[in-house]
Structure 1
């Protein structure tokens, strides 16, 4: 079975791994509230995606959402 003839130096190893870093993805702007968000994803701030309301906004209080009255 073949084995390496020489030990790989730290420099050679690190040069080989130089392209293995995780790259940052792109960001886009929400068309509804103009906050920065990931593309092709529901906005965390307002809950909109492609012109529709999909989620309730995160900054709502529990009493506003009806949790304090038992959902009535």
Structure 2
């Protein structure tokens, strides 16, 4: 197994890892109820997608 001749510096390691970061997910507001949802999904609060009722959602007590 090969052993590195020199130690990898902190700067070189950080440059290699610049693309390994967490991104914020894209969210939109539901046009029917205003809840925050992911795009192209059925709203979990009201059950609407593209201004059409898709699923029946039970209300919380």
TM-score by length of structure 2 reads 0.71
Output the CA distance in 1 between the equivalents of 2:54 and 2:16. Answer: 44
Flag the structure with more relative contact order, 1 or 2, with Cα contacts below 8 A and sequence separation at least 6: 2
Q: Could you say which structure has the larger radius of gyration?
A: 1
Unaligned runs of 5+ in 1: 62-72
Greater helix proportion: 1
Unaligned runs of 5+ in 2: none
SS at match of 1:45: coil
Output the CA distance in 2 between the equivalents of 1:6 and 1:15. Answer: 17
Output the CA distance in 1 between the equivalents of 2:52 and 2:36. Answer: 17
Aligned CA RMSD, in angstroms, stands at 2.2
Output the CA distance in 1 between the equivalents of 2:3 and 2:37. Answer: 49
Structure 1 runs (4+) greater than 6 angstroms displaced: none
Output the CA distance in 2 between the equivalents of 1:59 and 1:8. Answer: 56
Aligned residues: 61
How far the C-alpha of 1:3 sits from its partner, in A, is 5.8
